[in-house]
Amino acid sequence: MENKNEFKPYIAAEKVTPEMTVTSIIMGVILAVVFGAANAYLGLRVGMTVSASIPAAVIAMGVIRIIMRKNSILESNIVQTIGSAGESLAAGAIFTLPALFLWAAEGKMDKPDMLEITLIALIGGLLGVFFMVPLRNALIVKEHGVLPYPEGTACAEVLLAGEKGGANASTVFAGMGFAALFKFIIDGLKLVSGEVSASVKGFAGEIGTQIYPAVMSVGFICGARISSFMFAGGMLSWLVLIPLIVLFGADITLYPGTAPISEIFASGGASAIWSTYIRYIGAGALAAGGIISLIKNLPLIVKTFSGAMKSMKGTGAASQARTEQDINLKIVIIAIVVLTLLIWLIPAIPVSLLGAAIIVVFGFFFATVSSRMVGLVGSSNNPVSGMAIATLLIATLILKVTGMDGIEGMCSAIAIGSIICIISAIAGDASQDLKTGYILGATPKKQQIGEIIGSVAAALAIGGTLYLLDSAWGFGSDQLGAPQATLMKLIIEGVMGGDLPWGLVFIGVFIAIVVEIIGIPVLPFAIGVYLPVQLNACIMVGGVIRLLMEKMNKKEEEKQEIINDGVLFSSGMIAGEGLVGILLALLAVFGVDSAIDLSAKFGISKTVADIGGIVLFAIIILTLLKFTVFKKRNKKA
C-alpha cells in the first residue's frame, strides 16, 4: 500500500497549469445536462445508471488535446468533474421523485411543480458537495492506498494515458474499443444475453453472471478480497435466503407480495423473490452496515473536523499547497445552514423544520457512507436506492409519530428521501472525482466549485426531463417501469399504513451485525446481499483474474507491470462501455433503439442468446489476458 506522505501527484503542487477555464466550464455543463437526461431515462427504464466520469474524461481529452491541440490534463479533469455531476444528480432524483408522479396518476395529489423538482434536486446536489468538503482529507488523502475508488483511479489512468501517449494510451484505447463493441452487441444489437443464469430443478436458488466488460473491470480494479465479500453476500441471498423463503413459504402470502410465494416464484423465478423480499433484507443490512461504518469511523471524522476547525484559526488557504486547498470551511458551514433554512422556509418544498433537521443529520451520515462505499465498489454499483430506503423508513416513521401523515406526510417523506438520495449520489461522485484530482494533482477547491456548477446545471434540466418522460410514456409503464421509485412509494405507504415488512428489514440488520462480529467487512457484504448475484459474480470473475495474476510465478517487477496493464485495459473497458451506454440511452430516447435490435428480427431464442453470451464472456476475458499476460509473453519471445 502506498503511504500518502510518499505520494507525488502527476502535476506537482507548485506547478500551476490551466484548470478551470471557460472551455472546461462550457464543455462540462453541456455534458452534465446530456448525461443527466440520458441517465434519467436509462435508470427509469432498467433501474440502473452508468457512471459518466470516465466517458466525460475521454470526451474532454479528445476535444481539448486532439481537436484544440492543448496539453492540459487538469482542464480535462474539470470537464469530467462538472459533467459527471449531472449523471449522479439524475440517479438520485429518478430513484425517488417519480413517486410523486405515481401518486398524481392515482388521483391522490396534483403533479409536482417544476419548481419543486428543481429546488429539491438543486439543494440535494449542493448539500452533497458541501458535505464532502470536510471529508476529503479523511477519505481521499488519509485513506489513499486503502480505498481504491476504482472509477476515480480508472479516470486518472485514462487521462494519464492520453497525456503520456505510447503503449499506455494504446492499452486504454484498446480496452475502450473492445468494450464499446461488446456493449453494442449485447445491449444495442441484442444478439446475445447480457446476463446468463442457471438453476437446479427442485431448488429455488439461482446462480449466474452478467457478461458486461465494465462490471468485470470493477472486480479487477478492486481485487479478489473485496469482490469475494460482495459475492459471498450475493450467494447468501440467492442460494440460501431465496430457497428458504420458497421452501418454507409455499402457499403463504407474505407482504409485500400480493400472491402466494409459490405463485410469485412460478411467475418470475428467483428474481421475483429477490425483488419482492430480498431487497428489504438488503436494505436492512445496508442500513446496519452504514451505522456500523459510521461508528467505526467516528474518531477519524471527529479528527477531520477538528483539524478543519483549527485551520480556520490559521493563516488560511493562501499558506496551503495548491493541492491541499478546499473551499473555506466558514463558507461551507454558512451554506449548509442557509440551505437547511431554505428547505424549511420555501413553500414549494413540503418539508418542516424537523424534516430539514433529518435531512442534515442523515445527509451527512449517508454522504460519509456513500463515499466509503464508492471507494470500495465504484459509483456504478453504489446502492443509492438502498440508502434511500433506510432513510425513508426512519423519516416516514418520525413524520407519522409527530402527526404528519396522509398524502401530506407521504409527500414530505419523499422530498426528504429525494434530497438525501441526491446527497448520497453526489457525494459518491465527488469522491471519485476528488480521487482522480488527487492522483493528477488538481486543485480540490476548483473541483468542488466544478461539482457545484455541474449540480446546478443538471438540477435546472432534471425537472423538464422528468416531465417530458412522464408525458411521453408515463412512469410505471412498460417503457418506464421506474422500479426504485415504485419501491419507495410502496415503503412510504407501508409505513404510513402500518404494514411494512419489518421482519425482513430486521433480518438484514442482524445479518450485518453477525458479519461484523466474525470480522468480515460489513459494507461490501451488505452490498452483495442487496445487489443481484449475477452482478456480484461478474465482479468476482474480475477479482479472480487479478488474483491469478498476482499468484503467477514471475518476478515482482514483471508481475506488477502485468497488473498495471490490466488496470489500464480495465479502465478503458469501463470508459468504452460507459460511452456506448450513454449512446444507447440517447438512441432509446429518440426511439431508434428498436431499429438496431436484431434479436426480434432474426428470432434468436433465449438458449441461443445465452450460449452466445457465454462465448462472448470468454472472449472478453481473453481480450483482457491478451493485453496483460499474453502481451508480456510476446515481448519476452
> What is the pLDDT at residue 635?
46
Which residues pair with residue 207 across a beta bridge?
198
Cell 431464442: give the residue. 605
Residue 508 lies in a domain: yes
For the segment 393-405, what is each residue's pLDDT rounded down to a tens digit? 888 888 988 888 8
> What is the pLDDT at residue 145?
77
Residue 3 lies in a domain: no
Residue 13 lies in a domain: no
Cβ pair 495, 345 in contact under 8 A: no
Helices (DSSP H) in 47-113: which residue ranges? 53-61, 73-94, 98-105
Q: How many domains does the chain fold into?
A: 1
The residue-averaged pLDDT of 244-271 equals 90
> What is the pLDDT at residue 637?
40
> What is the pLDDT at residue 4?
44
Q: Which residues contact 232 (CB under 8 A, 6 or more apart)?
A: 520, 525, 528
Domain limits for position 32: 22-636
For the segment 14-39, what is each residue's pLDDT rounded down to a tens digit? 888 889 999 899 999 998 988 888 77
Q: Residue 633: is its pLDDT beyond 60?
A: no
Handedness of CA 122, 125, 128, 133 (dihedral sign): negative
For the segment 431-473, what is each residue's pLDDT rounded down to a tens digit? 999 999 999 999 999 999 999 999 999 999 998 889 888 887 7
Residue 244 lies in a domain: yes
Q: Which amino acid appears at position 378 of this protein? A: G
Q: 264-273, 317-326, 551-560, 593-602 — which one is most confidently predicted on average?
A: 264-273
Residue 81 lies in a domain: yes
Nine-digit cell string for 239: 442460494
Helices (DSSP H) in 323-383: which residue ranges? 329-345, 353-377
Cβ pair 416, 100 in contact under 8 A: no
Mean pLDDT, the chain, rounded, equals 85
Cell 461478474: give the residue. 538
Q: Which residues contact 277 (CB under 8 A, 6 or more apart)?
A: 245, 254, 256, 257, 501, 504
Render the burial of 488-524: b for 16+ CB within 10 Å, e for the rest. bbbbbbbbbeeebbeebbebbbebbeebbeeeebbbb
> What is the pLDDT at residue 169?
64
For the segment 406-437, what is each residue's pLDDT rounded down to a tens digit? 899 999 999 999 999 999 999 999 999 999 99
Q: Where does the pLDDT of residue 47 fall: very low under 50, low under 70, confident under 90, or very high at 90 and above?
A: low
> What is the pLDDT at residue 6?
66
> What is the pLDDT at residue 508?
93
> Judging by DSSP bridges, how do beta strands 195-198 and 207-210 pair with one another?
antiparallel
Residue 219 lies in a domain: yes
For the segment 569-619, what is each residue's pLDDT rounded down to a tens digit? 888 888 788 778 878 877 877 778 788 888 888 888 989 999 999 999 999
Cβ pair 387, 484 in contact under 8 A: no
Residue 182 lies in a domain: yes
What one-character DSSP code corresponds to residue 316? -
Q: Residue 548: is its pLDDT beyond 90?
A: yes
Residue 15 lies in a domain: no
Q: Where does the pLDDT of residue 357 fall: very low under 50, low under 70, confident under 90, or very high at 90 and above?
A: very high
CA atoms within 13 A on the CB side of 287: 22
Q: Residue 317: is its pLDDT beyond 50?
A: no
Pick 110 or 289 by higher pLDDT. Answer: 110
Handedness of CA 248, 254, 257, 258 (dihedral sign): positive
